Chain A
Amino acid sequence: MSRPVPSTDMSDEIDGEVPVTPERLPIVDYLKLGDDPHLLANECTTCGARYFDRRNACAKCGAVGFATVRLADRAVLTAFSIVHRAAPGIPVPYVSAIVQTDDGTSVRANLVGLDDPMKAELGMSLGFTTYGCGTDDNGTECVAFGYAAV
């Protein structure tokens, strides 16, 4: 129905060997890592509606078939908020963004790479990027995605 989770992807490459802890994991399974990191979506094969999460059926049309598609990397900023107050442990301020990719899919992520958050501007052109956002007790790096001005 949906794509395999990336950790399964990685274990496929070491088929037959003792599983090892991957050195990098995407923060969510719709982020595909590798040489050309990008976002994936579950696309309804009937109506084309896209979802990042696992769905039992399409919320738009009710059909149950999905295919995995790649999202465009380029996007435009359609809404944002500069968050100054967050739960403990979350660095502030940061720019929370709603972007629309060139192929018409809305994505929520942080706007990254701005030296001043107030430089965020509605309608600005953005590109997809990834960055490390933490390391667990096994030394595995967590990789997040964001959008930066281009």
Chain B
Amino acid sequence: MSDAVWVLGASMTRFGRYPDLDTVDLASQACIDALADGGVTIHDMDILAAGTLFQQSGMGQRVQKQIGQTGIPVYNVTNACATGATAIRTVHLAIKAGEAEMGLAFGVEQMGKMGLLRGGAKDEANVYEPSGRYGAVAPIDGILGTETMPGVFAQAGMGYAYENDGVGFEQFARVAYKNHLHSTLNPLAQYRKEFSMEEIMGSPVQSYPNTLLMCCPTGDGAAAAVLVSEERLRSMPTEVQNRAVKISASVLTSDPWVESGQVQPDVNTLTRNAAAQAYEAAGVGPEDLDLVELHDCFATAELIHYDNLGLCERGGAGEFIDSGAPFRDGRTPVNVSGGLISKGHPIGATGVANVYEVATHLRGEAGDRQIDGAKVGLAHVIGLGSACGIHILEKAA
């Protein structure tokens, strides 16, 4: 018997804005639904992992008080935009280690209309005094380059354009065109509106080449997944086993040292490393993937991850999008959920929601957006700092 870990149940709230709910409401809803989806209860869980970036500590315990205080160990995790994937990985590790047979992982965030992330406002009071590790006398954002997320990821994309031909504003815009188009089929997406290339390229520039419609929104939402050991799964009814989805690879990496890393976060190397480890563990290659949910926080990010995940030839990400390959009717559908750009990106929830999305397709339960016959899929997230999580999922044989 293999020692694989399986997704038994999964759920997500629609991403959006919920001013009348709090994070505990959102997370509890996702957890209750995921448990019901797996046909189990909180009393069957041996471990709980809770992911959130902006909430106070104790998120997992606060949710337990709504869904069941059973005394199991709770791990509250945070790992930038890879927080949700880290929660899943935590439960996965516990099951692999033999300390748990079944566990619940959730991710949640409530960001509302938080607006632009990062980048400090200028200090009004002013007597210059060197402080910090750079001996800075004033905030450097906007003076020594940008610290804002649209700008940092714009530079990541432009760095790729510098090294490779066939990549420019139009290719980045086409990524956003695709994801907005895909989201029209997803009832769980924060936005479900198609935009033309002209509208995308003509929307207000945030950080060129990223325009407004090429940036993910802030928002609220939660997602949860129940994981189970292979041995325990085999004791369950056949119909339950048939809906379970195998986790063929669960990988978490951080960024190794690179020369430019101190001035521009390197989102490439750790993604490449994670992908290599994941493909090796799963025994599949990028050509085997029926769908991919990857971390398109900005259009510039999605494009470079085509290359980092090996979905295209090295240096061929521009041609890949131009050929239509990542569209839902293309060779390797990418972000058929609408991606972060249109489905939304409540940070802690994202890495669980991606796994939910892939699992739902592998179960054949994705409704209008279903990728027919999907058997293998990959979910990828990256958090700056940096952390990269990849899960490869396979349909039950």
Residue tally, chain A, CB below 8 Å to B: 57
Residue in contact with B262 in the complex, picked from A52, A100, A138, CB distance below 8 Å: A52
Q: Which chain B residues lie closer than 8 Å to A30 at the CB level? A: 134-135
Q: Which of B137-153 contact A (CB under 8 A)?
A: 137-138, 140-146, 148, 150-152
The answer to whether A7 has its CB under 8 Å from any CB of chain B is yes
Q: Which of B110-131 contact A (CB under 8 A)?
A: 116, 119-122, 125-128, 130
- Are A86 and B137 neighbours in the complex by a CB distance under 8 Å? no
Q: Which chain B residues lie closer than 8 Å to A85 at the CB level? A: 116, 148, 150, 204-207
Nearest CB of chain A from residue B270's CB, rounded to whole Å: 14
Q: Which of A53-106 contact B (CB under 8 A)?
A: 53-54, 59-60, 78-94, 96-98, 100, 104-106
Q: Which of B11-33 contact A (CB under 8 A)?
A: none
The answer to whether B251 has its CB under 8 Å from any CB of chain A is no
- A143 closest partner in B (C-beta): B137
Q: Which chain A residues lie closer than 8 Å to B119 at the CB level? A: 86-87, 90
Q: Is the interface of B mostly helix, strand, loop or mixed?
A: loop
The answer to whether B269 has its CB under 8 Å from any CB of chain A is no
Residue tally, chain B, CB below 8 Å to A: 48
- Are B206 and A84 neighbours in the complex by a CB distance under 8 Å? yes
Q: Which chain B residues lie closer than 8 Å to A6 at the CB level? A: 130, 135
- Are B145 and A122 neighbours in the complex by a CB distance under 8 Å? no
| Distance A69 CA – B300 CA, assembled complex (angstroms) | 34
- Are B159 and A78 neighbours in the complex by a CB distance under 8 Å? yes
Q: Which chain A residues lie closer than 8 Å to B145 at the CB level? A: 96-98, 108-110
- Are A28 and B144 neighbours in the complex by a CB distance under 8 Å? yes
Nearest CB of chain A from residue B176's CB, rounded to whole Å: 16
| Distance A116 CA – B155 CA, assembled complex (angstroms) | 18
* Interface 1/0 per residue, B242-263 and A, CB below 8 Å: 0000000000000001011111
- Are A80 and B135 neighbours in the complex by a CB distance under 8 Å? no
- Are A105 and B208 neighbours in the complex by a CB distance under 8 Å? no
Q: Which chain B residues lie closer than 8 Å to A123 at the CB level? A: 162
The answer to whether B277 has its CB under 8 Å from any CB of chain A is no
* Interface 1/0 per residue, A1-27 and B, CB below 8 Å: 000011100000000000000000111
Known contacts A123-B162, A138-B127; decide if A79 and B264 are in contact (CB<8 Å).
yes
Nearest CB of chain B from residue A126's CB, rounded to whole Å: 13
Q: Which chain B residues lie closer than 8 Å to A107 at the CB level? A: 263
Most buried by A among B116, B127, B158, B210: B158
Known contacts A84-B208, A87-B141, A89-B122; decide if A49 and B148 are in contact (CB<8 Å).
no
Residue in contact with A81 in the complex, picked from B135, B136, B144, B158, CB distance below 8 Å: B158
The answer to whether A115 has its CB under 8 Å from any CB of chain B is no
Q: Which chain B residues lie closer than 8 Å to A35 at the CB level? A: none
- Are B263 and A79 neighbours in the complex by a CB distance under 8 Å? no
The answer to whether A149 has its CB under 8 Å from any CB of chain B is no
Q: Which chain B residues lie closer than 8 Å to A53 at the CB level? A: 133-134, 262
Q: Which chain B residues lie closer than 8 Å to A49 at the CB level? A: 257, 259
The answer to whether A46 has its CB under 8 Å from any CB of chain B is no
Nearest CB of chain A from residue B138's CB, rounded to whole Å: 6
Most buried by A among B116, B144, B158, B161: B144
The answer to whether B393 has its CB under 8 Å from any CB of chain A is no
- Are A87 and B130 neighbours in the complex by a CB distance under 8 Å? no
- Are B133 and A86 neighbours in the complex by a CB distance under 8 Å? no
| Distance A55 CA – B162 CA, assembled complex (angstroms) | 30
Q: Which chain A residues lie closer than 8 Å to B261 at the CB level? A: 59
Q: Which chain A residues lie closer than 8 Å to B162 at the CB level? A: 78-79, 122-123
> 5 A–B contact pairs at CB < 8 A?
A5-B130, A28-B136, A52-B262, A96-B207, A134-B126
Interface residues of B, Cβ cutoff 8 Å to A = 116, 119-122, 125-128, 130, 133-138, 140-146, 148, 150-152, 154-156, 158-159, 161-162, 204-210, 257, 259-264
The 4 closest A-B pairs by CB, nearest first: A29-B135, A90-B142, A81-B154, A106-B260
